C-alpha cells in the first residue's frame, strides 16, 4: 500500500489517498483537453481513502460527471462520475505523479496529431472507451 499526499498549485487544497498499486490513466476527450490543456492524467487510488481538505469548487461538466478545482488557483483536482461519486484525482497534484506508471489511455483517437504518449500501455479508442463505461444491458445505472 502506498500513501500519497498532494496539493494544488497555491496550496489551499491538500489531498491524500492510498493506493494498492498506483497507476496513471490519461483521457484525451475534448472536455478533458479543454479543461487541462492536454490530456487529463489521473491516478488510480482506493476510492474510500480519498481525502480533500480546503476550498473546492465543483463544475458540472456533463449530465454524468463533475470536475473539482481549486477556486484560488484553478488547479484541476478531480473528475467524478455522478453515478458512483468516485473522485479520480489529478496526477499533477502529486510529486512525480505519485511515481506511478501510465497504464491506460482513453479516447486515444481524440489525441491531437501533434503529440502522443510513448510507452507500452493499453490504448482505448472512443468506441472502446464508450463500450467500457456504457451500462451493460439489464444493469441498473
- Chain residues binding Zn ion by CB under 5 A are 8, 10, 12, 70, 72-73
- Radius of gyration over alpha carbons of the chain, in Å? 15
The residue among 7 and 123 lying less far from Zn ion, judged by its C-beta, is 7
Minimum CB distance to Zn ion, residue 55 (Å): 8
The residue among 44 and 93 lying less far from Zn ion, judged by its C-beta, is 93
Minimum CB distance to Zn ion, residue 104 (Å): 27
The residue among 8 and 27 lying less far from Zn ion, judged by its C-beta, is 8
Pairing of strands 24-27, 102-106: parallel
Contact assessment for residue 15 and residue 54, using Cβ atoms and an 8 Å cutoff: no
Minimum CB distance to Zn ion, residue 1 (Å): 27
As a whole number of angstroms, the distance between CA 4 and CA 114 comes to 32
Q: Find cell 470536475 and name the residue.
A: 67
Amino acid at each position: 500500500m502506498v500513501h500519497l499526499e498532494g496539493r494544488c498549485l497555491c496550496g489551499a487544497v491538500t489531498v491524500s489517498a492510498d493506493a494498492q498499486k498506483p497507476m496513471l490513466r490519461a483521457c484525451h476527450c475534448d472536455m478533458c483537453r479543454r479543461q487541462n490543456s492536454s490530456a487529463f492524467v489521473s491516478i488510480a487510488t482506493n476510492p474510500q481513502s480519498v481525502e480533500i481538505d480546503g476550498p473546492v469548487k465543483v463544475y458540472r461538466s456533463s449530465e454524468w460527471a463533475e470536475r473539482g478545482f481549486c477556486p484560488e488557483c484553478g488547479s484541476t483536482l478531480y473528475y467524478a462520475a455522478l453515478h458512483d461519486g468516485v473522485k479520480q484525482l489529478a496526477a499533477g497534484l502529486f510529486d512525480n505523479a505519485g511515481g506511478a506508471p501510465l497504464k491506460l489511455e482513453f479516447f486515444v483517437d481524440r489525441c491531437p496529431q501533434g503529440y502522443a504518449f510513448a510507452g507500452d500501455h493499453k490504448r482505448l479508442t472512443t468506441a472502446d472507451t464508450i463500450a467500457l463505461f456504457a451500462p451493460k444491458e439489464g444493469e441498473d445505472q
